[in-house]
Structure 1
């Protein structure tokens, strides 16, 4: 269950990061609210997941998921250019996240 919470929290990291960018320095109410709610839920989920998953692994997975999804959302929305190199680097991030999960399971 902790891994599911961690994955959802990583997704929420991408939500709050994207909303932060759209908030125009907290001058737009809607994105600012999404940022605040997403941030609290994301951090809360990370904290819960860290009860069962080592801090370093949990944090790396959380950041990896959030970073990868934030870039994907930006590319899909047209806010950021798509390139083969970026796609390969995102796939590398995803592979590292999966690797941390596999190594974490092997250690138990």
Structure 2
């Protein structure tokens, strides 16, 4: 259950990063829409991290997994939604990041 909380938190971390990007590209009402999206996303993301740590995941591992998942989802959103360029090295390092997250999960004492 705690890992699911971190997964959800990581997804919302990507949402708040995406909201920041959209805020910088917008003005007027759309700016405030993306600002609200940012505030809601960061609040949910932090709350999920808090709940996972409060329910027993160690702080260091929880934060590393949460931020790693957020970074992974943010890169994927950049590639698939914002059409950012993809390179072999970008994919290699993304795979390395995901492998590290899985490794932390495997070596963490339950």
- TM-score for the superposition, normalised by structure 1: 0.91
Match among 38, 41, 50 for residue 38 of structure 1? 41
Residues 50-76 of structure 1 show CA distances to partners (whole Å, capped at 9, x for unaligned) of 121000000000010000110111111
Q: 1:10-38 deviations in whole A, cap 9, x for unaligned?
A: 11100111111111188512211111100
2:66 aligns to what SS in structure 1? helix
Would you say how many aligned residue pairs link Structure 1 and Structure 2?
106
1:18 aligns with 2:54: no
Q: Equivalences for 1:40-79 in 2 at 5 Å?
A: 40-51=43-54, 52-79=56-83
2:101 equivalent in structure 1: 97
Structure 1 moving runs of 4+ over 4 Å: none
78-87 vs 63-72, greater mean Cα deviation: 78-87
| Alignment partner, residue 9 of structure 1 | 9
Equivalent-residue separation in structure 2 for 1:55 and 1:81 (angstroms): 34
* Unpaired segments ≥5 residues, structure 2: none
Q: TM-score, structure 2 length as denominator?
A: 0.89
RMSD: 1.6
